[in-house]
Amino acid sequence: MVTAFSSTKPPRIILILGDQLSTDLASLRHADPQTDIVLIAEVRDEATYAPHHKKKIAFVFSAIRHFAKDLEATGWRVWYAHHIQRLMVTGNFAMLAGVDPLCRFV
């Protein structure tokens, strides 16, 4: 659910992919859970660029979903994008949030 932000500081969107599932990411350390949004995406291109066993893909997507729930449980605003074809959709999420998609993200 998209919510309005009361802060005067515009939210930043922090993109996290399946190979970045750690709360020790620099992008999260320098972000504000009260104003910033974590965009976690299941990117089809990442799962199909090379042959992978179906169980590996299922395991990675499961880990991504659990990580998103863990972030939400600790107070982060998380947008979870299922089965995204291309990362260019990030710009669309930015515009929905009222963020300039060309601005420098952390």
Percent of the chain with pLDDT over 90: 30
Structure tokens at 4: 């309005």
Residue 63 domain flag: yes
Written as six digits, the tokens of 82 are: 């299922």
In a domain, 71, yes or no: yes
Q: Is residue 69 part of a domain?
A: yes
Tell whether the model's pLDDT for residue 64 goes beyond 80: yes
Domain total of the chain? 1
In a domain, 30, yes or no: yes
- Segment 78-87 shows an average pLDDT of 69
> Is the pLDDT reported for residue 1 higher than 50?
no
| Structural element, H or E, at residue 79 | strand 77-84
Q: What is the CATH number of the domain that holds 85?
A: 3.40.50.620
Q: Can you give the residue range of the structural domain that contains 90?
A: 13-96
DSSP line for 23-48 = TT-HHHHTS-TTT-EEEEEEEHHHHH
Residue of 97 and 27 predicted with greater confidence: 27
Percent of the chain with pLDDT over 70: 70
How large is the average pLDDT for residues 68-93? 77
- Residue in 6, 4, 38 with CA at minimum distance from that of residue 21: 38
- pLDDT value at residue 106: 39
- Quote the tokens at residue 19: 């190979």
Q: Is 9 exposed, middle or buried (0-12, 13-18, 19+ CB in 10 A)?
A: exposed
What's the pTM?
A: 0.69
Q: Quick check: is 1 in a domain?
A: no
pLDDT tens digits for range 15-59: 888 888 999 999 999 999 999 999 888 777 777 777 888 898 888
